[in-house]
């Protein structure tokens, strides 16, 4: 199986930045796409950003366009999420996900086969 491990979360003040990392491992790891989702307390899990592994095609939640940037390092089997100008409403557990096939589309949680344990991002004064 594929294992995903997120890191880089923490406490940051409004307007600050964080860079999340997700390292994938597994004997047969070959991703079609990797993405980031987040879930705030009492809220539904929501799509944040995704990138296709080969072509580098990206997709973003509308509200984070220009604020967050997703990237990947194929040699390291790692995907990153650079988060700038953070706001309290960005507070959530951020989850990394991987899919080996295009199914419903890279912005849909149902497309993903593997999930990390999540990393907490807290934006507070």
Q: What is the C-alpha to C-alpha distance for residues 124 and 49, in angstroms, rounded to an integer?
A: 22
The tokens 């949680």 sit on which residue? 109
Q: Which of 121, 122, 102, 123 is nearest to 112 (CA)?
A: 102
Query: Side-chain half-sphere of 57: how many Cα atoms within 13 Å?
Result: 9
Q: What is the C-alpha to C-alpha distance for residues 51 and 69, in angstroms, rounded to an integer?
A: 10
Ordered per-residue pLDDT tens for the chain, 125 residues: 889 999 999 999 999 999 999 999 986 667 899 999 999 999 999 999 999 999 999 999 999 999 999 999 998 999 999 999 999 999 999 999 999 887 788 999 999 999 999 999 999 99
């Amino acid at each position: 199986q594929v294992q995903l491990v997120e890191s880089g979360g923490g406490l940051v003040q409004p307007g600050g930045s964080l860079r999340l990392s997700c390292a994938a491992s597994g004997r047969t790891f070959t991703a079609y796409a990797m993405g980031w989702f987040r879930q705030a307390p009492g809220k539904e899990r929501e799509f944040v950003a995704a990138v296709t592994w080969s072509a580098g095609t990206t997709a973003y939640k509308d509200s984070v366009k220009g604020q967050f940037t997703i990237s990947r390092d194929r040699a390291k089997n790692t995907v990153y999420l650079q988060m700038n100008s953070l706001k309290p409403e960005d507070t959530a557990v951020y989850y990394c996900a991987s899919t080996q096939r295009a199914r419903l589309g890279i912005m849909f949680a149902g497309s993903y086969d593997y999930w990390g344990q999540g990393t907490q991002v807290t934006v507070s004064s």
